[in-house]
């Protein structure tokens, strides 16, 4: 009883505070509208500022306080980069002077951010992010292109920049710093040139950036950062794989695949493992994208560009890996139903692809039908809807494949077998739905 009374009291207090907040918000709007009316001499007293002035104020506020800063710092950094590239192409400045100018630009932006931090914190944050992106790029270029630093010195500097950027992002408490710094760190090197000869250094650099991003993403709950880092990193790796990968890059490719996959998997599970929070839809989306990227990267690295011969075994291997992932998730995290469903569906898709890549003709049709039946029986036995729905979907795909692709290739006997088997199984599924509809529709766990 005491708990119930306490809950009622807290609810009343919350309702009262919410009502007060609405009142003060309305009062604030009225005062702002009155201020706008007094400042604008052309507005007549009988005009209502609600629909016009306030909306214009909100739009101008968004553009002036948010958009202009972001666009300005990006355009400035791009301009500096293009200017340096022009000077390099025209041989107007020496290599040492190029690096000195680039560092000077970053330091000036940094000093300005410090000077403006007290009064203009958001503007200061934008300047700071541009400064750190510039310093990242300059250190990377000085080491890779000009050899001014040793490997140890260059990566020590970039490690220091990563740690300091993370620290300042926490102090500013603004995700914009991290996002802009991330964009600069990933993207600015491409404004100079692509370094295809030292790809191991480039991806080591990307991993270093990712560590700082993943830490911030967890510390401040900035999940957008983690997802952007995942998409950017895997995109860079896959594009490199399609365009530049050679067989002698195999060992290096395997190492980077393992590191990328491990970093972003841990990032998705970090809140669950450390804070005991349930996985969100965005976490599960990140795990799904990570698995897709793993599959594509494995095709590139293990296939050596010959997807036809290696397609089936690679697909089967990744399918087994995702199946083990699903089983482990079910054992360790039994409450994460959506995660289990997602991993299981990915396994079904990969197994279906493996069957399609490894065999052909009537055998593929029959194996897909067998897999669909297995899923349906599993769904009824475990009172789960997703395996039954997956079975129906797979059966539909099998029927579509039979009608669209196989009818012109199968012999008469093969067509007879395929149509009879699929038709009989569809009727059997329909009968089972009719017979066990109460158990199926009202006894499911999901």
85-118 exposure pattern, b = at least 16 Cβ within 10 A, e = fewer: eeeeeeeeeeeeebbebbeebbeebbebbeebbe
Tell me what the pLDDT averaged over the chain comes to.
80
Structure-model confidence comparison of residues 357 and 34, the more confident one: 357
Tens of pLDDT along 194-213?
444 678 888 888 888 888 88
Q: Given pLDDT bands bounded at 50, 70 and 90, which one contains residue 313?
A: very high
Is a pLDDT exceeding 60 seen at residue 51? no
Q: Which two tokens stand for residue 6?
A: 């306490």
* Total H helices, total E strands in the chain: 18, 0
Q: Over the stretch 122-180, which tens digit does the pLDDT of each residue have?
A: 778 878 877 887 887 788 778 877 788 887 888 788 778 877 887 887 788 877 677 76
Quote the DSSP letter at residue 146.
T
Contact 283, 268 (CB under 8 A): yes
Residues with Cβ within 8 Å of 244's Cβ and at least 6 positions away in sequence, in order, are 196, 199
d(CA 279, CA 269): 7
Tell whether the model's pLDDT for residue 28 goes beyond 80.
no
What is the per-residue pLDDT for 7?
64
Tell me, what's the pLDDT at 146? Answer: 77
Question: Which among 159, 157, 257 is positioned nearest to 203, based on CA atoms?
Answer: 257
Q: What's 443's DSSP letter?
A: S
pLDDT, tens digit, for every residue of 222-245? 888 889 899 999 999 999 998 888
pLDDT value of position 147: 81
The pairs formed by 194-201 with CB atoms below 8 angstroms and a separation of 24 or more are: 195/144, 195/145, 196/244, 198/144, 199/240, 199/244, 199/249, 199/252, 200/252, 201/143, 201/144, 201/151
Q: To the nearest whole percent, how much of the chain has pLDDT over 90?
A: 28
Nearest-5° Cα angle at 405, 427 to 375 = 40
pLDDT of residue 192: 42
For the CA atoms of 19, 22, 26, 28, the dihedral, rounded to the nearest 10 degrees, stands at: 110
Mean pLDDT of 375-380: 87
């Amino acid at each position: 009883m005491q708990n119930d009374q306490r809950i009622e009291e807290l609810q009343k207090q919350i309702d009262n505070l919410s009502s007060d907040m609405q009142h003060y918000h309305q009062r604030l709007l009225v005062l702002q509208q009155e201020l706008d009316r007094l400042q604008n001499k052309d507005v007549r007293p009988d005009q209502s500022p609600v629909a016009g002035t306030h909306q214009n104020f909100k739009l101008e506020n968004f553009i002036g306080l948010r958009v202009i800063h972001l666009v300005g710092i990006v355009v400035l950094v791009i301009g500096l980069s293009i200017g340096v590239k022009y000077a390099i192409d025209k041989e107007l400045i020496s290599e040492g002077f190029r690096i000195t100018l680039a560092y000077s630009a970053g330091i000036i932006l940094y000093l300005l951010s410090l000077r403006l931090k007290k009064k203009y914190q958001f503007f200061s944050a934008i300047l700071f992010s541009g400064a750190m992106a510039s310093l990242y790029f300059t250190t990377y270029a000085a080491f890779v292109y000009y050899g001014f630093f040793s490997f140890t010195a260059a990566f020590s500097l970039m490690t220091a920049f990563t740690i300091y950027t993370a620290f300042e992002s926490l102090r500013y408490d603004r995700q914009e710093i991290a996002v802009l710094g991330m964009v600069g760190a990933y993207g600015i090197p491409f404004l100079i040139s692509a370094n295809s000869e030292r790809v191991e250094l480039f991806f080591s650099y990307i991993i270093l950036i990712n560590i700082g991003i993943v830490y911030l993403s967890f510390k401040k709950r900035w999940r957008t950062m983690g997802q952007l880092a995942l998409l950017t990193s895997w995109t860079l790796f896959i594009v490199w794989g399609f365009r530049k990968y050679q067989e002698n890059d195999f060992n290096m490719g395997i190492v980077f695949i393992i590191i990328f996959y491990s970093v972003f998997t841990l990032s998705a599970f970090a809140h669950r493992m450390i804070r005991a929070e349930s996985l969100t839809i965005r976490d599960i989306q990140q795990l799904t994208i990570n698995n897709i990227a793993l599959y594509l990267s494995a095709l590139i690295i293990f296939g050596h560009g010959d997807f036809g011969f290696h397609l089936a075994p690679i697909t089967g291997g990744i399918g087994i890996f995702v199946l083990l992932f699903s089983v482990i998730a079910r054992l360790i995290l039994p409450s994460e139903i959506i995660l289990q469903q997602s991993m299981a569906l990915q396994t079904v898709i990969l197994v279906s692809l493996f069957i399609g890549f490894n065999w052909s003709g009537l055998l593929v049709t029959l194996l897909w039908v067998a897999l669909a039946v297995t899923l349906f029986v599993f769904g009824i036995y475990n009172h789960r809807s997703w395996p039954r729905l997956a079975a129906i979907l797979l059966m539909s795909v099998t029927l579509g494949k039979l009608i669209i692709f196989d009818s012109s290739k199968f012999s008469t006997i093969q067509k007879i077998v395929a149509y009879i088997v699929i038709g009989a199984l569809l009727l059997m599924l329909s009968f089972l739905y009719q017979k066990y509809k109460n158990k199926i529709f009202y006894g499911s766990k999901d």
